[in-house]
Every structure is written in C-alpha cells, then in structure tokens.
Amino acid sequence: MNGDGKGSVVARIPLRKRLLVRLLIASALIAVCSVAATAWLAVETTTRALREEQGQDLADDMDILAELSGYAATHRDWKGVQDLVGALAARTGRRIALTTTDRVLVADSAPHGSALPPGAAATVDPLHTDTYTQPGAQLSGIDPRAVGPYLLPAAERDRLDALAGRRQACVGRYGLRATITRTPSGRPVLTGADGTDIATETPDECADGALTTPTATERKAIDALTRRARPCLDGAGLTPRLPLLLTFDSTGRSVPDRYVLAKLARPGHPGAAQKAQDCVDEARRAQLDPYVAPVAELFLGGDDRVAPRFDMSPANKAKVVGAAGLVLAVTVAVSAVVALRLVRPLRALTEAARQPPEQHVRVPVTTRDETGLLALAFNALTERRERLEAQRKAMVSDIAHELRSPLTNIRGWLEVARDGVVDPDPGLLASLHDEAVVLQRVIDDLQDLAAADAGTLRLHREPVNGGDLLDQVAAAHRVAAATAGVTLRTEAGDGCLLDADPVRMRQALGNLVSNALRHTPSGGTVTLAARRDGEEAVFTVTDTGSGIAAKDLRHVFDRFWRAEKSRSRRTGGSGLGLAIVRHLMAAHGGTAGAESEPGAGSVFTLRLPAAAERNK
C-alpha cells in the first residue's frame, strides 16, 4: 500500500466517530452538567438557608410567646410589659403587639398609630396554655409559673433552704450527689445528676419529712383550694374525706400531679380520678385568676408574609452564564490537549499495524498509561509473531529435512535396483521397508500435531487402570530395551484410575519411553511409575541417561527440537514425539513436565484428572 493510502486512514473515519471529537463532546457535556449541578446546588442551598431562617423565625415566635406567658403568670396585670415587648422585638427583629380580647392595645413595639397585622398569632393565657413544661410547644393546662398564693415568703424560703442544705449533706455521706433546684414557688428540691427527684433513693436516716412538709403559706393556699374544689367534687359524688395534698415536682414543670386527693368517696367509679382532677384544676384556675394578667392577644409582624422564594437576579444570571462559558472553554481546551496526546500514539499504532507483516515494526512507548500499555502489548504481539514466523520457517526446514533423508534412500536403492547394480533381494526390500516406516511415522506425527492444533484430535475415553497401562507400554518396549541393554521397570500404586483414551495414553507414554531408551546408555535403567496424588493420576518416566542442560529444559516439548543438533533421525528422533505428548495431555485436561540433572538422568511427569475409585 502506498503512502497516500496510509495517510488517508484518518480521513476515512467519520467525523462523529473520531476519538478527538468524542472526547470533546464528552468534555462539553461534563462541563454543562457540572455547571448545571453547581447552579442547582447553589439554589437549593440558598433555599434551604431561607427555610432554616424561616424555621428560626418560628422558634423565635415560640420564645416570644413563652416570655410573655411567663410575664402574665407572675404579674397581676400588663403594666410594665412595654419594656419586655421592646426588648423581645429588638432581639428577634419582629414587631410585637399585645391587645386585650376586644383589640384594645396593651403594648406595641411599632410606632404609635401603626396598623395591627390581620390576625392574632396566639393567645396569651397562662391559666389555659402551658409554654413552660415543654420548651418550643404549647400544651393545654396551667402554666407552672403561675403560683399565686403558693409563692413562699423570704423567711419560709430561707428555712427550707437550710433544710435542703442539711438533706444534701446527709445524702452526700451515703454517696449520693444531689443538687438543689428551685420550683417557681421558691421551694427547694433535691435532684440527682440526671435532674430527677432523688426522694426514692434518699436513705431513711435523711428522710425526716421536714423538707416536704407544707409551709404555713402553702397550707393556707391548699386549704383554700380544698374549699373551692369541694362543691364540684360534691356534685360528682367524689367528696374527699381528707383535704387535698400537695406534691412537689423536682423540675417544677408538671402540673397535673401537684395537687391530688387523699381519698375518694367512690374509688371504683369510672373516670373518678379524671373528674376529680378536673375539679381541682378548675378550682386552681379560680384561685390563681387574681394573681395573673388578663388574657391578651399576641400579634407578630410578618405573620402574613408569603414563604420566602429564591429568584436569581439578572446580574446573578449573567454571572452563572459567564462562569458556565468559562468552565466550558477551559474544559474544551484541556480536553483538546489531552485528546491530541491520546490520539498521537494511537495513530502511530495504526501506522505500525498497517506495515507489511515481514517488517515486524515496533512502536515507541512514550507513556505509562493505558496507551503505553497498548503499545507494550502491540510490541509483545509483534515479537510473538516474529518468533512464530521463525518457528514456522524452521519447522518447514525440519520437515523437509526429515522427509528428504528417507526419500533419498528409497530413491537411491530403487535406482540401483532398476539399473541392475543390485538384486532386489530380501535384505534390500527390508531396507526399503524401514525407510517407508520412517516416512510413515513422520507423517503420522505431523498429522497428530495438525489435528491437535486444529482442535480435532478425537479421544475415545474409557476407564483405564494405571498399572495395566504401564504393563502394556513396558511389554511393547521390552525388545527395544533388551537390544539397548537397558533395564525397563514398572511401579504402579493402588487406586490409580482415570477416564482416558487408552490408545492415546499408550502413545504418550510410548513416546516418553522411546525417548528415554535413546538417551540411556547400556546398563542403565528406565522406570515407569503410576500413582494417585489427590484428585490427579500421576505418571512418571525416569531414566538414568545423560540428562538435559538447564538452558535446554524449557525447549524439550518444542517441535523438531533435539538436545544434540547433529543427531540423525535414526539416532535422535524427529523431534515431534514430546510435542505430541504435550498436546495429548492437553486434550485429556492434563499437563506434561520435565525435570533433569545433567549426568544423572531425567524425569518426565504426566498429570491427569483421576477417576473416582470404584467400589470393590
């Protein structure tokens, strides 16, 4: 092919299928996707931030309601709440307005005359809404901070503090670490490390009952509560025989269990406990009403706003488009450089592959990436092809040599017989027959190798006993061994069974024995052995011959290879026997190997899958 033909290879590749174009398209798509993903991520991140900010606003609203509920629970009216409203508005950035239930303004953080938001955000009523027990939530019930007549005076508080200090020191002597906490009424309570009441863990020596005994102020308030609750309890048939008892919650947050009945008149009445608690709660609200601020409506500025939404301005859109264009340009430029570096060695490989086979062109390896590995593989393939070509030429020469010698002998003897120089006596005919046998063996060997190469070598498998196989091979070579003065022995182990072609196995072992007899001097020994090694049947042919040099050992199964190149077909064989052995073992799913030590002999080993042992 001329140079123009080689140079037009790239031109014949469609533009859409060229590697450079594909890389550029892929890079552009990657750039576009990356820019789009970045923009989407920015929008999502901003939107999420706005939502989190909105969630923070809701949390601030709950804090505002909790603060105002606490103020209402601890004050008889709303006088002075303006300062608290102003402080909350400054902290949260929200407009805060308080009105009565009939929309009379109580306090407002906005300038005077500002219109109220359309609707109230919440109702501030500490007698019906609890924003203290669970922070961030509105529960139904009385706010625990509304203590009213249960608020302890300083004297009682000091006395209880002293009792709590002695109780703390007492439990400390028993290894209990207690902390003094204070309820909204001012009563001290001992709590453990996890914030729970340690009353159940208090040792008997420390549980004197003094700390939990109601004070005079509490006793007075409890008696008043009992009198208020009795009409309701009487109407439900639940009149207690004893006054209400006051229990003390360690955290001061739980309202329902703070006031309980000592004993109900009808304890088995369905819903008696709940009805009694409802009566107590109603009496409690009536008792606390004079001590808390009136119900108020809470208005928060911005409550009617639409949920925030992120929209990009034209300037931001221009920035995104510009950034996308820049990323795209850089990506395409970098991809073009990378693609050219990738395409250049590929083109060199293409040109080398198009050269005539006899030139065996190699390409330089300039990189260590995938392209460099491809170049290495191409060079290795070229070397193998060159080596196979040399082997093919040598094989043709060897075949011609193997066939020439017997054909020359046959032709010579026939010509002298035709000319009457010699008579065609039995000796001449025997010589011609020997030469014909030599030719037949060479042709048979070549036919076997051709069938093995083509994968058409047929096997007729049947159960074979290794010991019987050795006896048959030894019997076939007894005469040759006796003629050469070599002792031929067999050693067969038990259980050496295999599923194989007996004819081909005798051929393989016969080739090894023939090879061993040729290389073993008179007085030597050739040993055939068979044994079972796990899941394999192992056959060995050991001789005491001249051995094989280490540098030649890896070539013994090559075709037409001889350890001594000067040996003739009659003394050294054709060089095909061991090659045939290797192919026969491969056909059986086995392997052939050789070990040798110069001057000490050689060992040829055949390994094949063994058959399962049959039951006797």
Give 57-78 pLDDT, tens digit per residue: 677 788 888 889 889 889 999 9
Residue at token pair 């002298």: 416
Which among 181, 185, 180, 182 is positioned nearest to 145, based on CA atoms? 185
Is residue 8 predicted with pLDDT exceeding 60? no
Count of beta carbons in the 10 Å neighbourhood of residue 53 = 10
In a domain, 143, yes or no: no
Q: Which domain range does residue 89 map to?
A: 1-138+296-354
Evaluate whether 107 touches 83 at the Cβ level (below 8 Å).
Answer: no
Mean pLDDT across 136-164: 88
Which one is predicted more confidently, 291 or 194?
291
Contacts of residue 39, defined as CB under 8 A and 6 or more positions apart, other chains included, come to 320, 324
Is residue 119 predicted with pLDDT exceeding 90? no
DSSP conformational letter for 129: E
261 lies in the same domain as 286: yes
Mean pLDDT of the residues in the chain: 77
Count of beta carbons in the 10 Å neighbourhood of residue 380 = 11
pLDDT of residue 526: 93
| Domain final position from 450, 481, 505 | 450
Contacts of residue 489, defined as CB under 8 A and 6 or more positions apart, other chains included, come to 474, 525, 526, 527, 528
Residue at token pair 């593989």: 377
pLDDT of residue 260: 44
Q: Give the CATH number of the domain where residue 413 resides.
A: 1.10.287.130
In a domain, 362, yes or no: no
Which one is predicted more confidently, 541 or 15?
541
Count of beta carbons in the 10 Å neighbourhood of residue 110 = 15
Is residue 155 predicted with pLDDT exceeding 80? yes
pLDDT of residue 606: 92
Q: Give the CATH number of the domain where residue 478 resides.
A: 3.30.565.10
Is residue 399 predicted with pLDDT exceeding 80? no
Beta-bridge partner residues of 592:
606
pLDDT of residue 209: 77
Lowest mean pLDDT among 99-113, 291-305, 480-494, 532-546: 291-305
Mean pLDDT across 257-268: 47
The pLDDT tens digits for 459-486 are: 888 998 888 899 888 888 888 888 889 9
Lowest mean pLDDT among 24-28, 62-66, 410-414: 24-28
The pLDDT tens digits for 502-558 are: 888 888 888 889 888 888 999 999 999 999 888 889 999 999 988 888 787 777 877
Is residue 336 predicted with pLDDT exceeding 70? yes
pLDDT of residue 259: 45
563 lies in the same domain as 430: no
pLDDT of residue 561: 62
pLDDT of residue 312: 56
pLDDT of residue 249: 44
For residue 122, the surrounding DSSP H or E stretch is strand 122-124
Is residue 208 predicted with pLDDT exceeding 80? no
pLDDT of residue 323: 72
Q: Is 472 helix (H, G, I), strand (E, B) or coil?
A: helix
pLDDT of residue 393: 74
204 lies in the same domain as 262: yes
Rounded CA-CA distance 45/48 in Å is: 5
- Residue 568 — pLDDT band, cuts 50, 70, 90? very low
In a domain, 245, yes or no: yes
State how far the alpha carbon of 337 is from the alpha carbons of 22, 206, 232, 277, in Å: 13, 86, 92, 84
In a domain, 364, yes or no: no
Which among 504, 524, 424 is positioned nearest to 457, based on CA atoms? 504
323 lies in the same domain as 380: no
In a domain, 615, yes or no: no
The pLDDT tens digits for 338-377 are: 777 777 777 887 888 788 877 778 888 776 666 777 788 8
In a domain, 540, yes or no: yes
Which among 120, 87, 94, 127 is positioned nearest to 105, based on CA atoms? 120
Q: Is residue 426 left, alpha or beta, with left meaning phi > 0 and alpha meaning psi from -120 to 50?
A: alpha
| Domain final position from 426, 450, 474 | 450
Is residue 258 predicted with pLDDT exceeding 50? no
Q: Are strands 536-543 and 497-500 parallel, antiparallel or unpaired?
A: unpaired
DSSP conformational letter for 192: -
Rounded CA-CA distance 482/519 in Å is: 14
Written as six digits, the tokens of 328 are 């795209």
pLDDT of residue 167: 86
Rounded CA-CA distance 416/153 in Å is: 152
Is residue 124 predicted with pLDDT exceeding 70? yes
pLDDT of residue 570: 45
Q: Into how many domains does the chain fold?
A: 4
User: Which of 134-138, 151-155, 342-346, 450-454 has the highest average model confidence (pLDDT)?
Assistant: 151-155
Mean pLDDT across 133-159: 87
| Domain final position from 291, 310, 328 | 291
Please state the φ and ψ torsions of residue 211, each to the nearest 5 degrees: -75, -30
Count of beta carbons in the 10 Å neighbourhood of residue 179 = 13
pLDDT of residue 269: 60
pLDDT of residue 303: 41
Residue 606, CA atoms < 13 Å, CB-side half-sphere: 36
335 lies in the same domain as 437: no
pLDDT of residue 252: 43
153 lies in the same domain as 277: yes
Q: Are strands 525-533 and 591-597 parallel, antiparallel or unpaired?
A: unpaired
Rounded CA-CA distance 413/434 in Å is: 12
Mean pLDDT across 146-175: 88
The pLDDT tens digits for 489-498 are: 998 877 788 8
Q: What percent of the chain has pLDDT over 90?
A: 8
Helices 272-288 and 216-235, packing angle to 10 deg: 130
483 lies in the same domain as 570: yes
483 lies in the same domain as 594: yes
In a domain, 120, yes or no: yes
463 lies in the same domain as 601: yes
Is residue 572 predicted with pLDDT exceeding 70? no
60 lies in the same domain as 194: no
Contacts of residue 383, defined as CB under 8 A and 6 or more positions apart, other chains included, come to 360
Type of residue numbered 398: D
pLDDT of residue 334: 76
531 lies in the same domain as 574: yes
Mean pLDDT across 94-119: 88
196 lies in the same domain as 263: yes
In a domain, 616, yes or no: no
pTM here is: 0.44
For residue 605, the surrounding DSSP H or E stretch is strand 601-609
pLDDT of residue 48: 64
DSSP labels for 535-550? TEEEEEEEE-S----H
